[in-house]
Structure 1
Amino acid sequence: MSLLGKRVTERIKPSVITEMMILVKKHKAISLTAGEPSSEMYPVDLLRETIERALRDPGILSYYPLSTGITELREWIAEWMKEDGLLPQSYGGENVIMTNGSQDGLNLVSEAFIEPGDTVLVENPTYPEALLAFSKEGARFVSVPVDKDGPIIEEMERVLSQNKVKLFYTIVNFQNPSGCVTTEERKKRILELASRYGFLIIEDDPYRYLRYEGKHEGSYIGLAQDEDRVIYLGSFSKIIAPGIRCGYMIVPSKITSQMGELVLATKLSLPAFLQRATWELLRNIDMKAHLAKLADTYRTRRDALHRFLQGKAVPQGMTYDLPKGGFFIWARVPWLKDCFDFAKFAVLEEKVGVVPGAAFYPDVLTADRSTLRLSFAKVPPETAEEAGERLGRALARYKETG
């Protein structure tokens, strides 16, 4: 008899993304696996200065009295989002709760809202670590397919008519893994469905500022105004550095108190020192120039991988739509029957790592096993050429093995 509870023994499954990253590192392969920014893009010098500035107040190393995070950073986030047209004017710093990255926000949402047996609607495919967060609380899943403009409304209505859904989890910009962006029109229609069917929208938006062409879309929380239908999750992991573990959630005013109490019960106090350093960085950095530099760098890397995939992998049957932002190319190889097996083959035989696409589907039995997720964020152009060569060879050799 196990001493562990059901959260660990039955509901939590291994992370395929983590397993592939470990396998890549072990075999010294070129990695197209990691969905994280490139370390040379971290503003290290400025962060060093702001850490030193934060330490001028040694009290910041003590327990911070507010479990929701330092006031200055929360107010900065609220104003930044309002200037960008993402947040209703009635919202302020009191609606912002700091988190240990977006994953912490997902865990807080799960703990606050999900009871065993509750139904969560997710995109198909979607971010598997979000599924882990919901699964550990005993959620069951129903899904809606996406196209380039986001969730398909007709399919969503069909699912909602057959299931009592408590939450809808959506990645709105350059979705992980598909790269789709939910349009304003789709958001409006989904908000209408949320009102009609009585579910909460969890708007996860870590890739918004990694747009390489076109114009930004609005947000669910901005469109909803004061309807209390949306919780927004954001993070500085992709645009500053993931190691600072600085994320945030925006919650309706009527639940800010209870959510703050939940944070207190689960964490007591967040790392106020890192939050202070982040705030010092944000108010001293030229954010517009910084984001433009990120866009230029990642656009160049996307285009380089695209060019070499066209030359080496596409002739082997690979197809994909080039994303307008984010970190991922969502590829399909129609003849591929087992993307898990191929991903291991590619690492072991050609020293190139990809993530099997079937890992991103809530139902592994109906998952598309011909899909692969390729991340270009950490792959400079000179490495992209070799990555394309190796992936093309891996596909050709794997096909020959039958």
Structure 2
Amino acid sequence: MDFKNLIFNDDKPKYVVLAEYIKEFIRKGEIEDGEKLPTIRSLVDEIDVNKATIISAYKKLEEEGYAVSKIGSGTFAKQRDFTRIIKRQYSRTFKKLSKDRIKDFIDFTGETTSAELFPIDEFKSVINEVLDRDGAEALIYRDSLGYEELRETIRRKFWNNSVSLSDILIVSGAQQGIDIVAKTIVNPNDNVIVEKPTYSGALSVFKSRRANIIEVGIEDDGVNLEELEKILKRNKIKLFYTMSYFQNPSGVTISKEKKEKLLLLAEKYDFYIVEDDYLSELIYDEKIEYIPIKKMDISEKVIYIKSFSKIFLPGIRLGYMISPKGLNDSLQLAKINTDISTSSLMQRVLQKYIDNDYWISHTRELTDVYRMRYECITKSIDTILKDKVSYVLTGGGLHLFVKIKTGRMDSVSLYNALKKENVLITPGVLFFNNGNDGLKYFRIGFSEVHCDKITYGIEIINKYI
């Protein structure tokens, strides 16, 4: 451990500064779990402070869970699961911010479309049309699979009748879909593969099932198949979770070639692919072709999950699943055990909204708006941050995943510094099973930010990187 960058100031007591300095090394993994910290005597000589300062610093590290003292042996580093701590702090930030207060922030954390772009008049007219047509039945109708007319519309409009109606299950958003899959096929100590990094909500679900989570790296065109097959050869795998378009957080889209090879691996090694189709409506690069893995699935190995919440308003929790033939009954039972049914009124409204072709016209309008914001944020990063960072040109979606290439600044420290400047980002530690792996990354979304504020926000980020 190098103390040449340690600087004391009058704002904080010396023992606090020393404790925070050592804590950063522990958090970043530069001091490993169980590694012995420098002796009190050696630190007295190296950083020219008195013995009491070092004792107080080590005591503070112990109190905060970053060290453990062993009588006669010394003080040893202790790695904390600080991902959970950061996640709690991150969540608390938004709980404290009122709707009026959030307007004072440049909010780069958004991952859904902006409410200001939703065609509320069309939505009102569809609600009235449904209530006039169905009356009270719209509020009390229950079907464990979901409203049949909605399922039929999904099959016709989105899948050209290529899937069976009985394979489509309406769910209350993608998160519930992932949870239902996990409850159905994942038992404690089963092996589950996820991309590295991946959606934090999926990690939470698999952890709750006490699964063994194995991460596999992502390349610019999707999962590293060579690395994936090495894992498959050594382990019995239950499922592989992937986001096929504009993966959250990396922004990567899986190429058609990799989708084909992935399906061959699923058949060869007998595991399910859980395809979370995330924001595939928002494609800005015409070279990106929309072909879900499920459309290529002839071996019944893909469980397809699609959320309408990202486009249709986050507050209306609706999505659907298409399940392999052999899992239909089990997935439907898990759904019933979870919440019996999803809002009947909203299912009917969504069905009418899609059937009236409002869905397609709305997504086209959103694509035009967000393409401009996408071009604005990529230009701002390239012009202002330049070679201080790197990122994948996603060609769609609502966010970028940025890697800090220079300096000692990590994403958690950057998040805390920017918050004081009324700028919000998402630290990358939330997307890795081991949070330390995400310290040099942050996600930056542009759905809630206009172009002038995007540029200003990037300038503030540049101050700290």
Q: TM-score w.r.t. structure 2 length?
A: 0.76
Query: Which residue type is aligned with residue 296 of structure 2?
Result: L
Counterpart residue number, 1:138:
210
Measured at CA, do residues 264 and 287 of structure 1 come closer, stay the same or move farther in structure 2, by a change above 3 Å?
closer
CA RMSD, Structure 1 to Structure 2 (Å): 2.1
Pair 1:219 & 2:292 matched: yes
Q: Deviations over 1:70-109 (max 9, x none)?
A: 00001111122323xxx8x2x2222111111111101111
How many Å apart are 1:29 and its aligned residue?
A: 2.3
Q: Which of the pair has the greater relative contact order for Cα pairs under 8 Å at 6+ separation? A: 1
CA distance in 2, matches of 1:288, 1:261: 32
Give the secondary-structure state (helix, strand or coil) at the position aligned to 1:372: strand
User: Which of these residues, 404, 413, 428, is aligned with residue 333 of structure 1?
Assistant: 404
Question: Are residue 388 (structure 1) and residue 464 (structure 2) matched?
Answer: no
Kept after mapping to 2: 8 A contact 1:150/1:182:
yes
Partners of 2:120 and 2:146 lie apart in 1 by 23
Matches within 5 A, 1:96-107: 96-107=168-179
Q: Which residue of 2 aligns with 1:190?
A: 262
Are the counterparts in 1 of residues 200 and 431 from structure 2 also a CA contact under 8 Å? Answer: yes
Give 2:149's aligned amino acid: E
Partners of 2:229 and 2:190 in 1: CA distance: 18
- 1:337-348 correspondence runs (5 A): 337-348=409-420
Query: How many Å apart are 1:307 and its aligned residue?
Result: 2.2
AA aligned to 2:159 is K
The offset of 1:21, in angstroms, is 4.1
17-26 or 167-176, larger mean C-alpha shift: 17-26
- How big is the shift at 1:128? 0.5
Match of 1:290 in 2: 362
Q: Is the 8 A contact 1:32 1:354 kept in 2?
A: yes
In 2, distance between residues paired with 1:331 and 1:22?
25
Q: Specify whether residues 198 and 295 from structure 1 end up closer, same or farther in structure 2 by C-alpha distance, changes over 3 A only.
A: same
**After superposition, what is the alpha-carbon deviation per residue over 1:185-207, rounded to whole angstroms, capped at 9, x for unaligned?**
10111111111111100000021
Query: What amino acid does structure 2 have at the position aligned with 1:380?
Result: H
1:269 to 338, 341, 354: 341
**Residue of structure 2 equivalent to 1:400:** none
> How many residues matched?
376
Q: Contact conserved, 1:31 with 1:354, CA < 8 A, in 2?
A: yes
C-alpha distance 230-222 of structure 1, shift in aligned 2 (>3 A): same
Q: Does 1:379 align with 2:449?
A: yes
Query: What residue in structure 1 maps to residue 112 of structure 2?
Result: 36
Counterpart AA for 2:204: L
* Structure 2 counterpart SS, 1:134: helix
Residue 277 (structure 2) aligns with:
205
Residue 64 of structure 1 is matched in structure 2 by 141
Aligned equivalents of 2:446 and 2:307: distance in 1? 20
Query: How does 1:109-120 map onto structure 2 within 5 Å?
Result: 109-120=181-192
Distance 2:84 2:416 in 1: 19
Specify every segment of 5 or more residues in structure 1 that has no aligned partner in the other structure, as ranges. Answer: 1-9, 396-402
Q: Which residue does 2:310 correspond to in 1?
A: 238
Q: Distance in 2 between matches of 1:249 and 1:276?
A: 17
- The CA distance in 1 between the partners of 2:414 and 2:364, in whole Å, is 36
Could you tell me how far 1:372 is from its partner in structure 2? 1.0
Runs of 4+ more than 6 Å apart: 23-27
TM-aligned CA deviation for residue 272 of structure 1 = 0.6
Once residues 336 and 209 of structure 1 are traced to their aligned partners in structure 2, the CA distance between those partners, rounded to angstroms, is 38
2:428 match? 357
Cα distance in 2 between the residues matched to 1:51 and 1:154: 50
> Radius of gyration: which is bigger?
2
1:175 match: secondary structure: coil
Deviations 1:346-384 (Å, cap 9, x if unpaired)? 111x2211111121112224x131111100111111221
The one-letter amino acid of 1:376's match is F
Residue from 308, 329, 332 that aligns with 1:257: 329
> Contact 1:107/1:133 (CA < 8 Å) preserved in 2?
yes
The letter of the residue matching 2:145 is T
Overall identity of the aligned pairs, in %: 29
> For residues 20 and 306 of structure 1, do their structure 2 counterparts lie closer, same or farther at Cα, with a shift above 3 Å needed?
farther
| Gapped regions of structure 2 (runs ≥ 5) | 1-80
Deviation at 1:216, TM superposition (A): 1.9
Question: What TM-score results when the alignment is normalised by the length of structure 1?
Answer: 0.88
Q: CA deviation at 1:159?
A: 1.5
CA distance in structure 2 between the partners assigned to 1:336 and 1:170 by the alignment: 31
Distance 1:60 1:133, change over 3 A: farther
Q: Is the 8 A contact 2:252 2:392 kept in 1?
A: no
C-alpha distance after superposition, 1:206-254 (max 9, x if no partner): 21111011232312211112x1201000011122212111111111233
The residue that corresponds to 1:80 in the other structure is 157
The structural deviation recorded for 1:298 is 0.5
Q: Distance in 2 between matches of 1:374 and 1:65?
A: 40
Of residues 115-124 and 16-25 in structure 1, the stretch that sits farther from structure 2 once superposed is 16-25
